[in-house]
Each structure stands twice: as C-alpha cells, then as structure tokens.
C-alpha cells in the first residue's frame, strides 16, 4: 500500500483523520478509530503553560500507545518562547510530529492570543515556526482557521508563512474564529490553500457523511480529510460508512467495547462517567434518542449504560428521517 501523503519523512497510510478534540480524542477512542483504518493520531490540545509548569494532568494527556504511531502532540500557547520551551521538553517523550493549534475558538484561549487568537499576529506565527523547525528534530505542523473574523480572512498569508518557515503540513478548518461552529465551513477557501502550498493540506469542517468525504476531496484536492464531530459515536466513518449503514448489533458491540476500553484506561468509575458523553453520541439520529439521553447522562455503572442502550436500540433501531 502506498502512503496517502508524507509529513516530512513520515508516511501516512490513509487519508481520513480523527480531529483533535478535547474531551473526546483520548487514547481509548483514538485506538478504536485506528482499528477502523484511521492512519495517524493527534492528542487532545495541550497547554504549553501546563507543560512548562509540569502539570500532572497535562502530562497525562501526552500519553500514547506505540501502535498509534505516527502520533502528533498538539500544543496551544500565546508566547513564542514558552511554546519553544514546551515543545523541546515534550519532544523528549517521543512524538512523531508536533502540531501548533491556531484554531481553538474558546474565549479563554483565543481571547488571550493563543489558538485562533494567534491568527491576528502573523509575525508571531512566523517566529514560532522558525524557532520550532530550527530547534526540533520532529516535523512541525499547524492547524488553522480561516482568520479571526470575516474581515480578516488571512488564511493564505498564514499558510504561506507556515510553509516558508518549515511547517510540514497544514490542517485547515474552513471557518473563522468569530464563526465558532456556526455557518458552513468554506471548502473553497481550503482549496485555495491547497493550490498555494506544496506541503500536504488536510481539509476540515462539516464532513458528516461518506458523500461529504467524496465532495470535500473533489472540491479541495486535499491530501487528507479531518473529521471531528461526526466521528464522535461513529468510528465507522473512517471506513466510509454512514450511521444508517451500521447495524444495531454492531453498535451495541462497539458501545460495550468502547466502555470496556474506557474503564481499562481510566478505572471503573471515571471510565463510566467519561463514557457517558460518548454514549449519547452513539444514539444520535435514532428515534426517540432524546428520551434516552437523561438516563445515559446519569448512569453510574456499565450494566446500566448497556441495558438502557440495548433496550432502546432494540426497540427503535430505525433512523429518523433527516
Ligand atoms: C468537543 C470539541 C473539542 C475540540 N478540541 C479541539 C482540540 O483539542 N484541538 C483542535 O485543534 N481542535 C479542536 N476542536 C476542533 C476540531 O478539531 C475541528 O476542527 C472542528 O470540530 C471542525 O471539524 P468538524 O466539523 O468535523 O467537527 C474541537 C472540537 C470539538 C467539537
């Protein structure tokens, strides 16, 4: 099998990638998606302050399994020196790639000039990438939005800066920061980035179905497609299968397995609690799913979660018309 693309010298064997998602793209879920053909892992976003301050919680987020390689550590920060220091430290933990988050829209982060807030300061981005590509051995990549707001859509300027300063890949979420998750992702803007640079471009935003995967590839000619929200509770998307195409028994089996992996990694109680938000996503679109949500969100045991879902899925295995 030929690689779909390379991140500098690292081959990536597949082009549908799980988006980094805080609270969701943890080791258990990344490994499940890998079983479905997802070819590279991104950690959840990691604070550069947490790294330099040696926060235990932050370092926990940097754990990964060998079978996840290539593994990308994604970091967020607003200070060029702290970003460099943090990345040098975490490079020692053996990631294959380090990614700089320039897309986070959360006010606490973007409002302080980190995440999508960095897009307001192109010269800072230039400095960050120059520093990192000059001092790290692993490839450095960036994940961006289209700009801060509709008046400052500077994605082409930023893409050029990344490429000229040694970035090895750009992932583009086709929205501005001020859009947060509203409106529609602009796939044509992602196509412009792809035409502009020679490094791989990963298209991201609003890919929900197998048809969307085909369409975004056609529209952008991108090297890969990054899938976020539509992959929660639906790892089958990485096989190009829509929710409707997955049988009830496959879903129940996966829910059991996912919950088991969560308990294994986080311990019984935390595993169950952290699984609840995934559980409600496995039933998205099913008839009367909203009736089941409150029960799932307060379930305290594996047996409870499984029995609620099994009973519901057996009763309502059909999907609501879109
Ligand atoms: C719950 C949640 C957490 C997210 N956390 C991150 C993150 O840690 N790092 C990041 O770069 N983007 C993060 N994102 C943004 C996604 O990676 C992605 O860019 C965005 O959801 C658009 O893709 P989608 O339409 O396929 O969901 C997050 C999104 C969601 C919904």
> Following DSSP, what letter does each residue of 115-143 receive, concatenated?
GGGGGG-HHHHHHHHHHHHHH-SS-EEEE
pLDDT for residue 168 is more than 80: yes
Domain assignment present for residue 320? The answer is no
Distance 206 CA to ligand 1 centre (A): 11
| Pocket of ligand 1 contains residue 229 by CB under 6 Å | yes
pLDDT one-digit tens code per residue, 136-151: 999 999 999 999 999 9
Burial of 1: CB neighbours in 10 Å, binned 0-12, 13-18, 19+: exposed
Q: Chain-wide mean pLDDT for the chain?
A: 96
| Pocket of ligand 1 contains residue 22 by CB under 6 Å | yes
What letter does residue 24 receive in the DSSP assignment? Answer: T
Domain match, 196 and 282 both: no
pLDDT for residue 286 is more than 90: no
CATH number at residue 300: 1.10.1200
| Pocket of ligand 1 contains residue 45 by CB under 6 Å | yes
Domain match, 151 and 266 both: no
Strand partners, 18: 227
pLDDT for residue 285 is more than 90: no
pLDDT one-digit tens code per residue, 21-66: 999 999 999 999 999 999 999 999 999 999 999 999 999 999 999 9
Nearest ligand 1 atom to the CA of 115 is 11
| Pocket of ligand 1 contains residue 207 by CB under 6 Å | yes
Burial of 245: CB neighbours in 10 Å, binned 0-12, 13-18, 19+: exposed
Which residue, 194, 217, 241, sits at the end of a domain? 241
Mean pLDDT to the nearest integer, 99-112: 98
- Quick one: how many helices (H) and strands (E) in the chain? 13, 11
Distance 311 CA to ligand 1 centre (A): 31
pTM of the model as a whole: 0.97
Domain assignment present for residue 85? The answer is yes
Work out the number of other CB atoms within 10 angstroms of the CB of residue 267.
11
Strand partners, 225: 16, 203
Q: By the 8 A CB rule, do 40 and 74 touch? A: no
Nearest ligand 1 atom to the CA of 185 is 25
Contacts of 107 (CB under 8 A, 6+ apart): none
Which residue, 241, 269, 304, sits at the end of a domain? 241
- What is the tally of structural domains in the chain? 2
Q: pLDDT tier at 320 (50, 70, 90 boundaries)?
A: low
* Pick from 46, 39, 55: nearest CA to 2: 39
CA 228 vs CA 30, 89, 204, 260, 279: distances in Å: 12, 28, 8, 22, 16
Domain assignment present for residue 251? The answer is yes
Distance 131 CA to ligand 1 centre (A): 26
CATH number at residue 192: 3.20.20.70
What's the alpha-carbon Rg for the chain, to the nearest Å?
A: 20
Please say if 33 is a catalytic residue: no
Q: pLDDT tier at 314 (50, 70, 90 boundaries)?
A: confident
Nearest ligand 1 atom to the CA of 171 is 19
CA angle 216–218–219, rounded 5-degree value:
65
Burial of 301: CB neighbours in 10 Å, binned 0-12, 13-18, 19+: exposed
Q: Which of 33, 104, 222, 261 is labelled catalytic?
A: 104
Segment holding 10, helix H or strand E:
strand 10-12
């Amino acid at each position: 099998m030929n690689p779909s693309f390379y991140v500098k010298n690292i081959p990536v064997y597949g082009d549908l990638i799980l988006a980094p998602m805080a609270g969701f793209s943890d080791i258990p879920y990344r490994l499940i998606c890998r079983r479905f053909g997802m070819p590279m892992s991104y950690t959840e976003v990691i604070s550069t302050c947490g790294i330099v301050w040696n926060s235990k919680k932050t370092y926990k987020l940097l754990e990964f399994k060998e079978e996840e390689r290539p593994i990308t550590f994604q970091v967020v920060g607003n200070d060029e020196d702290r970003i460099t220091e943090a990345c040098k430290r975490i490079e020692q933990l053996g990631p294959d790639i380090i990614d700089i988050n320039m897309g986070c829209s959360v006010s606490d982060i973007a409002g302080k000039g980190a995440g999508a807030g960095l897009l307001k300061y192109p010269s800072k981005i230039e400095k960050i990438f120059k520093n990192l590509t000059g001092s790290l051995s692993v490839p450095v990549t960036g994940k961006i939005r289209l700009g801060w707001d509709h008046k400052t859509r500077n994605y082409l300027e930023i893409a050029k800066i990344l490429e000229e300063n040694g970035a090895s890949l750009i992932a583009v979420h086709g929205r501005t920061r001020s859009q947060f998750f509203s409106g529609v992702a602009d796939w044509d803007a992602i196509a412009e980035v792809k035409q502009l640079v020679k490094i791989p471009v990963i298209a991201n935003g609003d890919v929900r179905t197998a048809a969307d995967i085909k369409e975004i590839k056609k529209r952008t000619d991108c090297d890969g497609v990054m899938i976020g929200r539509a992959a929660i509770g639906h790892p089958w998307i990485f096989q190009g299968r829509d929710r409707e195409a997955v049988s009830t028994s496959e879903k129940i089996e996966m829910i059991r397995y996912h919950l088991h992996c969560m308990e294994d990694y986080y311990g019984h109680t935390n595993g169950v609690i952290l699984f609840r938000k995934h559980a409600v996503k496995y039933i998205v679109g099913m008839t009367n799913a909203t009736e089941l949500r409150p029960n799932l969100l307060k379930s305290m045991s594996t047996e409870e979660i499984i029995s609620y879902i099994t009973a519901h899925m057996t009763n309502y295995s059909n999907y609501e018309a879109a």
